[in-house]
Amino acid sequence: MRYFFEDYSFDTEKRELRRRSEIVPTTPQVFDLLEYLIRNRDRVVSKDDLVTSIWNGRAISDAALTTRLNAARTAIGDSGGEQRLIKTLPRKGLRFVGSVSEVPEPIYGAVTDGSVESPEASLALPDKPSLAVLPFANLSLDPDQDYFADGMVEDIITGLSRSKSLFVIARQSTFTYKGKATDVQKVGRELGVRYVLEGSVRKEGNRVRISGQLIDATTGLHLWADRFDSQLEDVFDLQDRVACSVIGAISPRVERAEIERAKRKPTESLTAYDYYLRALSCNYRNTRAGNDEGLKLIKVASSIDPEFAATYALGANLHAQRKACGWSIDPALERAEASQLANRAIELDRDDPLVLAMVGDALAYVLGKVEEGTDLILRAIELDPNHANARLWGGWAHLWLGDGDAAVQQFQDMLRLSPLDPRAYSAHSGLGFAHFFAGRHDDALASATIAIRLQPSFLGAHYIRTASHAMSGRLEDAQAACAALMQLSPALCVSLIERRPRPFRKADVEKLTQAFRIAGMPD
């Protein structure tokens, strides 16, 4: 079990206490004392309880117990005078009063740049056959063809994820292994899958070759390997052959309809497809320059093939990224462009989950058409239950509609489908909002704390940390959290939040602003 509170992580399996990334030395008895208090934080623990559990009933003096208690407080930055985390109740006992996030499965390590460290324990295997597709090696003579190899893998993942008989890990998690030497069995444990597909792509002139091998990650045994060759103009058929071969190897009795669902030919133009893959690569760079370049490439791709629905959907999604990251220059113009792209995409294809999910997010977030956008996202999830992005966007959309329970479920599903996702901070922030609006302030704080650990500059997580402290009556902590928030956004004030057009319901915004006033945010 791993517990998180403030800047600390407490791992009972490794018997490690860490502050951020640094190990805090503790003696065995001090560690046991902390573990007992944290595990039993829902009640007051008596001296007899401690003696029975930690010292096996042996007699221990009050002075010795006080020494261990002081050492425990020192280890977690507390003191007998402050009693911020461990509170002494005279003549009754002790209680751990800090807000704790309890994580029975892997959680992401401390980071400062938004990336996510690999979890160290195993995730439980899903009930259905589970698969991760690792980035394929680019064996082309031109290293700049990485985007093409990556695009091939992404489309194979997309095809496989449409099979409702499989559990397929999202691209955002598997691509964290790109360029690294990997132990397939370790990957299986980290991602919680039974099967791992790895391989290579070679593109030379008008020829493409994909080589792949399927491995049982629980045993390390190779189950299947093959090589697929085709002309470049048959690249979609090539992807289909890989996806269908993998499905057949994993689930030989799967219905033919499941295999057919994996097949899709998005465009007749290889040139348009190439520009689409370049734009997709720009999207994953998650930079302003990448966003600008991606939108330009989208215009080129759509001019070559005006019927290529995914191109328009990706363009709408790039506008959502633009708004989320604060890169907008002319919001009114960009909303109009996003609307045009979204409408054209959905006009061309209402059955592609990729199109539905990207358009749904743009409608809900950029254009404020939350109900319409949510319907499209839910339709995408119905068609592709493995679509982690749709789960993330669906979580936020449900949150904006005021359906907190549905939002929590979608965020949790996203985190399982993509355990190493660089945007996990967004899901944890969303969980924080959902818990806060439901009045679960300690749960909200725990989620916000994880989100800030993953992405220290994400404002939404700081909102919830500040608001949760305020509504829980921890005024000093609320003021400190508010100061940290204001340092990130100096112009922030309550009236600005009230005036700013946001997808949240008015009642939910009022809950936030009430908390911000308590925390000392200026009007």
Q: What pLDDT is stored for residue 104 in this prediction?
A: 47
Q: Which two tokens stand for residue 242?
A: 């890989």
| Tens digits of residue pLDDT in 132-160 | 999 999 888 777 788 888 988 888 898 88
Query: Residues 4-13, buried b or exposed e (16+ Cβ, 10 A)?
Result: bbbebbbeee
In a domain, 72, yes or no: yes
pLDDT single digits (tens) 155-181: 889 888 888 888 999 999 999 998 888
According to DSSP, residue 373 is labeled H
In a domain, 338, yes or no: yes
Number of domains forming the structure of the chain? 4
CATH number of residue 145's parent domain: 3.40.50.10070
Domain that holds residue 466: 402-523
The SS3 call for residue 282 is: helix
Indicate whether 283 and 240 sit together in one domain. no
Binned average pLDDT, 10 residues per bin, the chain of 523 residues: 79 81 81 91 88 80 85 89 88 86 48 44 77 91 83 87 88 90 88 91 87 89 86 84 80 56 72 92 89 95 95 96 89 95 95 94 94 95 93 95 94 93 92 95 92 90 95 94 92 88 85 95 93
Full-model pTM? 0.73
For the stretch 109-125, pLDDT in tens is 333 344 444 444 457 78
From the centroid of its chain, how far is CA 415? 5
Please report where in the chains the tokens 């425990």 appear, as a residue.
72
CATH of the domain at 83: 1.10.10.10
Residue 277 within any structural domain of the chain: yes
Closest CA to 278 of 289, 262, 259, 294: 294
For residue 231, what pLDDT is reported? 86
Q: Choose one of 341, 358, 384: the last residue of a domain.
A: 384
Q: What is the model's pLDDT at position 239? A: 83
The CATH number that applies at residue 337 is: 1.25.40.10
Is 46 within a domain?
Answer: yes
503 and 409, same structural domain? yes
Question: pLDDT value at position 19?
Answer: 78
The CA–CA distances, whole Å, from 231 to 20, 58, 228, 266, 267 equal 52, 78, 10, 17, 16
Looking at residue 246, its pLDDT comes to 82
